[in-house]
Structure 1
Amino acid sequence: LVAERAGGGSENTESAGGGSGDAEAELTRAEIRETAEAWRPYRSYATMYLWWRYVDETLSVDPKSLTL
Structure 2
Amino acid sequence: MLPKRLSTPALEDAYDQLAEALDETPADRRVLFLAKLALALANLLDDPAEFAAALEAARRDLG
**So what's the TM-score if we normalise by structure 2?**
0.40
**So what's the TM-score if we normalise by structure 1?**
0.37
